[in-house]
Amino acid sequence: MQFENKGKSVNTTNPRYSKLTIGVCPDQWGVWFPSDPKQINPDVAMTEMAEAGFEVLETGPWGYFPKDPKELQRWVDERGMRVVAGTGWGILHKEEAWAETEKTFRDIAETHAAVGAEYIVHLPPLYRDDKTWEFTDDRVLSPEAWQLYVDNANKLGRIMKQDYGLTMVLHPHGDSHIETPEEIDRIFQATDPEYVSFCLDTGHIVYGGGDPVELCQKYPERIGYVHIKAFDEALVKEAHEKDWPFGEAVAKGASVCPPAGLPPMDTLIEALADLDKELYVICEQDMYPCAPDFPKGNAINMRKYLASLGLGLA
């Protein structure tokens, strides 16, 4: 993370928070898919991200922003931004899906390594469809499927590291096989820390019944990257009691802008600072679909609130 002008992305006034770099990704603009008529135009979204004071970017769904590295570099250069991570969906627990998963991640890695990214986020496949909310997979993996999941996570992480110099971080997610504290613990026990790091998505951890601050304290060596967001406690409880699909919970407003919701951001930022290591902390708020005029002001409010707690500068 060597760069001359850190601008607002790093708190340069208090050394305690100086290793935490705030950034943003398309999720904060209501984007879940590479292309969708309900989503904001990608050119407009990136421009608004820069106007909102963000300088560090995770690119989100593969294909939402340009896949060509030269074109992607031109986009971020024009806005005074830089790319630190790419994101990919990939099935790891089915043998027949491996070839496609590997190809997708190699494509993403090639582009992102070329623009100087350092991380690649593995978003797990969900067992309910994001749009139809229908079940598409087993809710609980068989022992054999789980073992394949772990083996392929190690394999994919090794490919990303050795071939592209990128650190792969596994991402927990509502309606996925890495959601609850028990499932996250199981992943930590089974995967190789040399090749598999972890994206501390604070909102999804809350949604899964966990505590991101506790995870920081219990597994400090495994936290390699952060998605910072909050969920409404009452709506999360209702979602699980009524077995809503994750997409329905989001549509009903479960993902909220801090200081609303959990986790408490002051406690969380202190826990991240206690880790005492370089971390990208990427702002997110699940809100697909949303009105196109909503994300910018909402993101400015979130960024300034987090800055008041030490994360970045207002």
Q: Which residues are 68's β-sheet partners?
A: none
pTM of the model: 0.95
Q: What percent of the chain shows pLDDT beyond 70? A: 98
pLDDT at 2: 33
* Rounded distance between C-alpha atoms, residue 212 and residue 200, angstroms: 7
Q: Kindly list the domain boundaries of the chain, sorted by start residue.
A: 15-308
Backbone φ and ψ of 292, nearest 5°: -65, -20
* Rounded distance between C-alpha atoms, residue 242 and residue 142, angstroms: 25
Q: Which residues are 82's β-sheet partners?
A: 56
Number of Cβ within a 10 Å radius of residue 48 = 23
The 10s digit of each residue's pLDDT in 108-133 is 999 999 999 999 999 998 988 878 88
Give kind and range of the element (H or E) at residue 24.
strand 20-24
Which ranges of the chain would DSSP assign to H, the alpha helix? 42-51, 69-78, 98-114, 143-164, 181-190, 202-207, 212-218, 233-241, 246-251, 265-275, 295-308
* Per-residue pLDDT at 302 exceeds 50: yes
User: Would you place residue 134 in the very low, low, confident or very high pLDDT band (cuts 50, 70, 90)?
Assistant: confident
pLDDT at 3: 32
Whole-number mean pLDDT of the chain?
Answer: 95
The 10s digit of each residue's pLDDT in 137-162 is 888 999 999 999 999 999 999 999 99
Name the architecture of domain 15-308. Alpha-Beta Barrel (3.20)
